[in-house]
């Protein structure tokens, strides 16, 4: 009798629906979604790495960043800004991808774990950021800077904490005089 009661109780616990409304706020972190315009021509070759953004726009780039022209979308994880150091036609250029962490296909979770706990940036390579697959075996070791944050529309900056670190260092130097 006790084992039947235990089975029945376990079944009820496993199948009871919580009538409380789900926390929709967890699914509604607005983040900017864009890529540098030159990446649009290359997108067929990088689509296995990144989900297509809402726009390929010059306003996504650091030197002409204007958030009034950028689209946003809801994310369930965190906002990211990826600065890509490319060489195109023998010239170095910086491309930007802004969006959700989930827009990165097959990223290395252990590498991202520190960013999940606090906002910040990490410098890495494409080979380190993306888990190896048949399509990714030939990734160039190009440098990437990945910044992540957990606030609404916070992925407009390349390195959110750098300003505060610089301000702190200046303040410490000033106080030590």
pLDDT, tens only, 121-165: 999 988 889 888 766 666 777 889 999 999 999 998 754 444 445
Q: pLDDT class for 177, splitting at 50, 70, 90? A: low
In this predicted structure, which of 27-41, 89-103, 131-145 has the lowest mean pLDDT? 131-145
Q: pLDDT class for 4, splitting at 50, 70, 90? A: low
Note whether residue 7 is domain-resident.
Answer: no
- Start-to-end CA span in the chain (Å): 79
**Average pLDDT score, the chain:** 78
Note whether residue 13 is domain-resident.
Answer: no
Number of domains in the chain: 1
Note whether residue 82 is domain-resident.
Answer: yes
**Nearest Cα to 149, choosing from 121, 109, 113?**
121
Q: How large a percentage of the chain has pLDDT more than 70?
A: 68
pTM of the model: 0.71
Mean pLDDT of 12-27: 48
Higher pLDDT residue, 1 or 157? 157
pLDDT for position 27: 63
Note whether residue 5 is domain-resident.
Answer: no
Note whether residue 151 is domain-resident.
Answer: yes
| pLDDT higher than threshold 70 for residue 95 | yes
CB 75 within 8 A of CB 29: yes
37-55 tens-digit pLDDT: 999 998 998 899 999 999 9
Note whether residue 8 is domain-resident.
Answer: no
Note whether residue 120 is domain-resident.
Answer: yes
CB 95 within 8 A of CB 39: yes
Q: pLDDT class for 14, splitting at 50, 70, 90? A: very low
| pLDDT higher than threshold 70 for residue 8 | no
Domain that includes residue 46, residue range? 26-176
Q: Is 29 exposed, middle or buried (0-12, 13-18, 19+ CB in 10 A)?
A: buried
Mean pLDDT of 51-70: 88
Note whether residue 148 is domain-resident.
Answer: yes
């Amino acid at each position: 009798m006790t084992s039947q009661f235990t089975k029945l109780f376990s079944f009820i616990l496993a199948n009871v629906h919580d009538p409380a409304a789900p926390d929709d706020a967890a699914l509604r972190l607005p983040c900017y979604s864009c890529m540098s315009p030159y990446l649009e021509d290359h997108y067929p070759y990088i689509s296995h790495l990144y989900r297509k953004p809402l726009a390929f726009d010059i306003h996504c780039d650091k030197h002409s960043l204007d958030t009034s022209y950028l689209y946003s979308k809801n994310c369930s994880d965190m906002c990211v800004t990826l600065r890509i150091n490319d060489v195109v036609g023998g010239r170095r250029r910086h491309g930007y991808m802004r969006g959700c962490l989930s827009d990165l296909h097959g990223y290395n979770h252990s590498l991202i774990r520190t960013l999940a706990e606090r906002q910040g940036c990490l410098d890495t390579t494409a080979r380190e950021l993306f888990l190896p697959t048949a399509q990714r075996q030939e990734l160039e070791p190009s440098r990437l800077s990945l910044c992540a944050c957990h606030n609404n529309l916070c992925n407009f900056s390349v390195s959110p904490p750098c300003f505060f670190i610089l301000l702190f260092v200046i303040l410490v130097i000033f106080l030590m005089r």
